[in-house]
Amino acid sequence: MSQRNEVSIEEGSTNVYADLGYADAAEMQRKSQLAGEIARAIKARRLTQAGAAALLGIHQSKISRITRGQFRGVSEAKLLELVAKLGHDVKIVVGPVRRRAGKIELQFA
């Protein structure tokens, strides 16, 4: 007699951090997107981590952590600064909303 293991599949949201129950899920997702953009820009410019660190003015170990998705302790402002130093324009638009609280959203061109 064989046993069948039932597998339960649950559809996730668009934010894995929210799915995992993080209280700061929206911030974590934005930081993840910025870290991904930093990694792409470094690769596109064919920089080594040491070269990127010199360009960005931070330690190579911090570049390594950020590009591996370990960005806790790094502010969104710092990540935005790094994106700008890697040759991207960063635009922040503040406008009225039709609901109680606004949201922060990133768009990459």
Distance (Å, whole) CA 98 – CA 32: 27
Q: What is the pLDDT along the chain (109 residues), one digit of tens a residue?
A: 556 778 888 787 888 888 899 899 989 999 999 999 999 999 999 999 999 999 999 999 999 999 999 998 999 999 999 999 999 998 888 878 777 777 778 878 7
Task: Judge whether 68 lies within some domain.
Answer: yes
Q: Residue 3 has what pLDDT?
A: 67
Task: Judge whether 35 lies within some domain.
Answer: yes
Task: Judge whether 73 lies within some domain.
Answer: yes
Q: Residue 1 has what pLDDT?
A: 55
Task: Judge whether 31 lies within some domain.
Answer: yes
Task: Judge whether 71 lies within some domain.
Answer: yes
Task: Judge whether 16 lies within some domain.
Answer: no
Number of domains, the chain? 1
Number of alpha carbons in the 13 Å side-chain half-sphere of residue 22: 12
pTM for the model stands at 0.79
Domain harbouring 55, CATH code: 1.10.260.40
Task: Judge whether 75 lies within some domain.
Answer: yes
